[in-house]
Structure 1
């Protein structure tokens, strides 16, 4: 298999100085105007786009093209199991925002639209595209909401995944409370401003305390998780035009929290603690104590979100819905790209219908891409020493 972005074949490296590809622009526009006939004939639009690329190296999407392109990028996202809802994506056109203050205000607005009143909905905010050879705005964070990880003499407090990022934030002036669920600041970088730190207002961060339907001691663990998984460092590519700042969200599948974020040994590593609370024999693996603890941790997550009235889905239901999405797409004559290693849930995979089949692997565009520099910044390993003096900007 030699499909870019899959397994051992890295995705093509993005060159921000390269002009928009006229062939990719044409392919996108023909597909867009075919699937959206209300937009009219495509030939006049193609002529205008070719001329714009020739003159400037890029072109400007209409609001209709951008909205459709963002939705199709979700439709093509091979690692997402929740694509049945791709048509319902709310697309917020934020291309006019320029300053860090404007951008951060709109990021807060994104979270409000996505999770206001706990009625979660899929949302993408698309900021200004990259212009060949020029700097562009971006957010360093992997997600708009994530928890800090602190190095202490007793070990790591918080999320170990973000220890280096937290260190970078400390170097830039931020000071967290030192707790296990401290929300990290958002770092916004623009062409005209050095990276700035903004703290999310409390009302923008919807969180759910984690308890268990039967085990009273579970609540005393003091667990919680945020409700909106808003990915913020992936590049949206539509018709040869790149949008480096295009945060998007859906809602959680329970296993993302209960079988990964809270359970992975290099994350919160809660399975030994849960197993101890359950009184399980952890002396050897054959007792399946990890499996039993994993089930109860995931039950707690699902029950807690449902009790709080916050949207979430379980891996069995979502697996069935993904197959429904595949049937819909096949009826429309469209192939469905999917990465088996991401589509199969991280818990009870063999008990779900998505396990027992192969999938079409392809890099279909429009799509989302994670660039190596963006990944490095999100890990806290791409920080330049000159940024250590960047100010903390609290927002009420």
Structure 2
């Protein structure tokens, strides 16, 4: 935790910028800064108003250098969960987040913010990487499920959770309050929409039994606003198709389905010059986009996402704000050179408010 001087300086910077964007008067800004100073002197910390929390979370999305979907930063829906008292209550609110954000498939960008760790309160930590994720198991016949989830799955097993041992077992929520032992909670099946993948021109594609969940809800990044760090602040947008079709299901260290798809397509995999990986990759991404749209679940292709990012750049320029970005993350993993992002450079400076990675607890 920051000292009083550091917290005040961070708060002063945040309030000055946020209140200007919110069209507050100079008098309102000065009054709020004075109130914060007094609160910090008395308690060592301060409490954001809902308006400050809401706008700060939106600014953090706007400052997310690795996110291509920032055009919609000001549409983020905030749930203030700072009064939650127990892991059970936290779990209930997380399930509500899943259901409300999923919205029957018409996904709503959302964030639920739990209380921060301060001099006067214990923190809440969510151990999951995403609220919804598939388990991974090491078996004598090889890995079943998501290899990226093996360590977390093993920890859940040690805590008493048992999955069915399939490729697509939904992991439980694991929540810790302060220094207490973490607790796990199953996510009700009805709360999770999954999309079964099929291909519009390859009928046999559905025989692969591939599927993915509707909403990516990141839950292991902290939200920092004005010197206050919220360690539990899960947030979501909607998927860009390549996240599923070019990474989750395609990476050799994840589900590694390209060889299977190539075989299904009858491609020659004996030589890389046949570009069988590329051909299988494109068809997998077509299947993802087709299936999500057929299921009525929000998703965006990487070309549209890049055009939306261009619109974001133009809007920020009109607001006299410099774009920051991590080029290596902003370019899509499929055909990056076909987007304008590939041919530009970005300032990768990290600015507050922001979402920041935390050290894993398992």
Task: Name the TM-score class by shorter chain.
Answer: over 0.9
Counterpart position of 1:259 = 246
By how many angstroms is 1:98 displaced? 1.6
Q: Aligned to 1:41, what secondary structure does the other structure show? A: helix
Counterpart position of 1:139 = 126
Question: Are the equivalent residues in 2 in contact too, given 1:320–1:354 (CA < 8 A)?
Answer: no
By how many angstroms is 1:44 displaced? 0.7
By how many angstroms is 1:134 displaced? 5.8
Question: Are the equivalent residues in 2 in contact too, given 1:17–1:132 (CA < 8 A)?
Answer: no
By how many angstroms is 1:133 displaced? 8.1
Name the TM-score, length of structure 2 as normaliser.
0.97
Counterpart position of 2:227 = 240
Counterpart position of 1:300 = 287
Counterpart position of 1:353 = 340
By how many angstroms is 1:192 displaced? 6.9
Q: Aligned to 2:154, what secondary structure does the other structure show? A: helix
Q: Which runs of 5+ in 1 are unaligned?
A: 1-15, 383-396
Distance in 2, matches of 1:26 and 1:212, equals 53
Question: Are the equivalent residues in 2 in contact too, given 1:208–1:304 (CA < 8 A)?
Answer: yes
Name the TM-score, length of structure 1 as normaliser.
0.89
Q: Aligned to 1:354, what secondary structure does the other structure show? A: helix
Distance in 1, matches of 2:150 and 2:15, equals 43
Superposed CA RMSD:
1.3
Distance in 2, matches of 1:139 and 1:248, equals 12
- Equivalent residue for 1:63, pick from 50, 63, 72: 50
Distance in 1, matches of 2:91 and 2:342, equals 40
- Equivalent residue for 2:274, pick from 280, 287, 307: 287
Counterpart position of 2:22 = 36
By how many angstroms is 1:116 displaced? 2.2
Question: Are the equivalent residues in 2 in contact too, given 1:17–1:133 (CA < 8 A)?
Answer: no
Q: Aligned to 1:110, what secondary structure does the other structure show? A: helix
Distance in 1, matches of 2:121 and 2:24, equals 35
Counterpart position of 1:385 = none
Question: Are the equivalent residues in 1 in contact too, given 2:2–2:227 (CA < 8 A)?
Answer: no
By how many angstroms is 1:191 displaced? 2.3
Q: Aligned to 2:195, what secondary structure does the other structure show? A: strand
Counterpart position of 1:27 = 13
Following superposition of structure 1 onto structure 2, how do residues 1-396 of structure 1 map, counting pairs within 5 Å? 16=1, 18-19=3-4, 21-38=7-24, 41-132=28-119, 135-191=122-178, 193-372=180-359, 376-377=360-361, 382=362
By how many angstroms is 1:151 displaced? 1.0
By how many angstroms is 1:118 displaced? 1.1
Question: Are the equivalent residues in 2 in contact too, given 1:17–1:134 (CA < 8 A)?
Answer: no
By how many angstroms is 1:165 displaced? 1.0
Question: Are the equivalent residues in 2 in contact too, given 1:92–1:125 (CA < 8 A)?
Answer: yes
For 1:100-140, what per-residue CA distance to the aligned partner results, in whole angstroms no more than 9, with x for missing partners? 11100000110111002111010000010110486411100
Distance in 2, matches of 1:38 and 1:338, equals 29
Question: Are the equivalent residues in 1 in contact too, given 2:195–2:291 (CA < 8 A)?
Answer: yes
Distance in 2, matches of 1:209 and 1:50, equals 54
For 1:344-394, what per-residue CA distance to the aligned partner results, in whole angstroms no more than 9, with x for missing partners? 00111111121111112211110000122xxx23xxxx3xxxxxxxxxxxx
Distance in 2, matches of 1:320 and 1:258, equals 20
Q: Aligned to 1:124, what secondary structure does the other structure show? A: strand
Q: Aligned to 1:194, what secondary structure does the other structure show? A: coil
Q: Which runs of 5+ in 2 are unaligned?
A: none
By how many angstroms is 1:54 displaced? 1.7
* Greater alpha carbon shift after TM alignment, 17-26 vs 64-73: 17-26
Q: Aligned to 1:338, what secondary structure does the other structure show? A: coil
Distance in 2, matches of 1:95 and 1:105, equals 14
For 1:254-311, what per-residue CA distance to the aligned partner results, in whole angstroms no more than 9, with x for missing partners? 0000000000000000000000011111111111110000000000000000000100
Distance in 2, matches of 1:371 and 1:118, equals 30
By how many angstroms is 1:38 displaced? 4.6
Distance in 2, matches of 1:18 and 1:278, equals 61
By how many angstroms is 1:193 displaced? 4.1
Number of corresponding residues: 360
For 1:14-66, what per-residue CA distance to the aligned partner results, in whole angstroms no more than 9, with x for missing partners? xx364552111101000111111257620011111111112211100001000
